[in-house]
Amino acid sequence: MNLLTRTTKNFAILVLSIGFSCTTLAQTKPAVVDPNKAPIAAAGIDEVYQLVDAVVTKVDSKTRTVTLKDKDGTVTNFVAGPEIKNFPQIKVGDRLTVTHELAVVIELLKVNNQGIRSEVQTTSQTSAPLGSKPASVISNTTTIIATVIGIDRQKLTISVKGPKGKPDIYRIKNAALLKDIAVNDEVKIVLYDAMAASFTAPAPAAAQKK
């Protein structure tokens, strides 16, 4: 599963986990990360992308409909499903944010895996406790054992081939990391991405202005 597919899937799961219907995906246009923009900066990068940032303008308790307005003035209606237990905590003025965090850590540690490439992926999800404003986080950690197939010490990039057989290119910030790495070495790469959605109350100052 590539980054774009996983990001879109996580966005759908995240929306459902805080209780909204799947029609949300058709109404919003999240700025998902483009996986074709290679190479990905690595060795300690931590980037956060804002997918949704909107304010609650209306809450209909009878129909469990929440009306949101984003910075561009676009108004969207969300219907909270019965699985959302914290619906009463959503108030007018609350802000809904959905973010995607991407971190890539290339340890570039030589491993003796006897030429066997592997990929292990773990996923976890947490939700806000009952009585709090709705919130949920989905995180994925992927550990890959890959074979180095190319090194460009001038551009500070490394090309590796993982278990799926497709080459991936990563940009290394620290040139020293490439010092003891050679073609055909086996290295360990850790990829981390997380998506978080939450409703938060407005700051006191903002509330007073209203």
Percent above pLDDT 90 for the chain:
12
Q: Give tens-digit pLDDT for 59-118.
A: 999 999 999 999 889 998 888 877 677 888 999 999 988 888 777 676 666 666 666 677
Which of 49-58, 149-158, 190-199 has the least mean pLDDT?
A: 190-199
For residues 160, 166, 169, 175, the Cα torsion angle rounded to the nearest 10 degrees is 0
Q: What is the pLDDT of residue 25?
A: 33
Look up the pTM and report it. 0.55
Q: Cβ contacts of residue 34 below 8 Å, gap of 6+?
A: 4
Mean pLDDT (whole number) for 146-167:
89
pLDDT of the residue at 92? 94
Short-list 107, 87, 95, CA closest to 71: 95
Average pLDDT of the chain is: 73
For the ranges 24-28, 79-83, 181-185, the one whose mean pLDDT is highest: 181-185
pLDDT over threshold 60, residue 45? no
User: Beta 65-70 vs 75-79: how paired, if at all?
Assistant: antiparallel
Neighbours of 12 (CB within 10 A): 13
More confident call, 189 vs 32: 189
Confidence check: pLDDT of 40 > 60:
no
pLDDT of 57 > 90? The answer is: yes
Determine the pLDDT at residue 205. Answer: 62
H or E segment to which residue 199 belongs: strand 186-200
Three-state DSSP at 13 gives: helix
pLDDT reported for residue 207: 47
